[in-house]
Structure 1
Amino acid sequence: MSVKINFVVFFVASVLMLGAVSAPLNLIQSADALKGQGVPSGKYGSATKDIVCGDKLCSEVKKETPKKEVKKEVPKKEGAEKIEKKEAEKKKIQDKEMSAQARYDETALPPRTIKTGTITSVQDPGKGHENHQLAIILPPSDKVYRGMLTFTASDNVQLVALHGPLKPGQDKGQAIWTPDGKTKYALTLIPLNAKAGTWQFAGNALAVHTMKDEPFTLSYSVAYRERTLSDNVKSETITSVQDPGKGHEGHQLAILLAPRTTAYYGTLGYSASENVQLVALHGPLTTGQEQHGQAIWSPDGKIFYALTFVDKENSMGTWQFAANAIALHTMKDTPFTVSYSVATGQ
């Protein structure tokens, strides 16, 4: 009986001990499960700033900005750098040359030649001028001479500038000088008929002349530039067209230097098939400026230029000018021909 009682006591004690051990284990597992599910909370935003995130408050934890990947530049090969530098220098030189060429006529001018001399005239070699005398100062050239002549002579003289040589068929009424009947130049003859003077000229040749067959002596100083042909340095022959100006429809106009915003400064020598007037335009004028009484020229009634109109009542001559455009003009409706040399710049 006592043995049975002892067995029962031992069994009950074992069960109690087993329960005491298993209860804490269940509590630990429940806590881990709750931790994994999160703790329910009714707080949001700034109300949660004091919640702990690891060893810091969540509000103190800064979000890390992902670093941008920096691409390392691959160094250029030495040969490629040299080629690139050479090309850049070449382009710089080309740009400079183009700029210089564009400004050539009026800024980057060729050197001025100045010379002094005393010469005796010879028989004029021109056909039809055999009984005249000629003293050649600047011989015929394919370039345009522009400059100033100061002289003193032993007899009254005329001043001569030649323009050309002309192309076949271009001699249409203007005065002509030819040494052989084949090579022809348009002739500008200034009947100064004085023994001394000064002349600003433009042409392909320069001389002093008399209508006599006796030689004369000439002492002179001349300063000039020999200019290569370009848009602003010309030696050519043209035929006039109907004047495009409003109110000038019955007139003829030969435009020598077309309108531009920057004014030209230069010298013109010309020989026309009939008497012409010299035209210079200034402008275009700003709105309202055309209403102040000066002579006006307009191609369309919208763009206006002030008009300088000079009537020398001759077919040949020279002209020192400054304007935004220059032309020759007649009051007639029939075309005229003009051969001329013009050079602009200082």
Structure 2
Amino acid sequence: MTDIELRELKPFDYDLVDGWISASQAIAAHDLPELPVPISPRLRLRLVVPEKFTKYYRTVALKGGTVVGSSTLEHDLENNTHMMWLELDVHPEHRGEGIGARLLEHAEQTARQVGVRTLMAEVAYNFAPAPDRVAPGKTFAAKHGYTVGQETIHRTKDLTFNEGPELQELYDAACAKSEGYEVLTWSRTIPNELIEGYCYLKGRMVTDSPMGDLDFEKEEFSVERIRSEEKSLLDRGSIWLGAFARHKETGQAAGFTETHIMLGDEEHCYIGDTIVDPDHRGHRLGARLKVVNERQLSQWRPSMRYIHTWNADTNGYMISVNEELGYRVYCTDQELQKKL
């Protein structure tokens, strides 16, 4: 491994950034061929758009002057500051050469220096389109002491078949069950009248959603933070759509779902968080919110074909809602952690 050089990835080191982009695209095309390869502008914007409440530590591995791998540590500066998220990738033509081990050693050392006690990571395996596809990250993580805290199921829906009598019947039934609620939508920015409720519900995600054995603690989100993250999304060229449920009689925030459309991607989009407050469950709000947001998506991007979502494998209610709406399994993701 003496011929492997590790360097910090700086946004204006153009040759290094070009190498990182090339490697990242090759890795995505090899490991997840059914999904779109991220375009160069989107990757560049990840490096240059500032985030006030999150700090990133990015490292690239070079061999013979060529970028052959990278690691990114993501550190939330307000919530769950005891942990970092780790993304580690090695070019498929250079796996088995010790590059991943070098990057991981460096990342864990950085995390310890910052004072972090837990590293989190994610690996995909068990692909429905290709059951025999090898998932080397799963073996690599286990070898280096990462344990499974929870498994989540990645599902996709083909929006080509989105409108039909079955979906309308489901939506009508959900509306009848939740007639005491109004559903409002947003695009790009959350209306001022909804943002306090959004912050409240966002803070409940890690306490109300299944988290398995993952080392999460309660979170809180301020209006300032959400507005800052909203601006970062816009500056990266992303479009943020959402549907928000509010109780008519009390005005209480009852739930929301959100979708992200990434820069340059006209076929695939991704659901972020979906939550219904425990005090307002049992009214089919989850199904109603998702249908409303999908219909809003079709107005913004009529050519959009696939929408992606993730649920813990123990979240039976949301899984049943997604299955009803036509989502089908793409793969399983292991949520991993290692106590440092």
Q: Same fold (TM over 0.5)?
A: no
Query: Which TM-score tier does this pair reach, normalised by the shorter chain?
Result: under 0.3
Determine which structure has the larger helix proportion and give its number: 2
TM-score by length of 1: 0.21
Determine which structure has the larger strand proportion and give its number: 1
Instruction: Report which of the two structures shows the higher radius of gyration computed on alpha carbons.
Output: 1
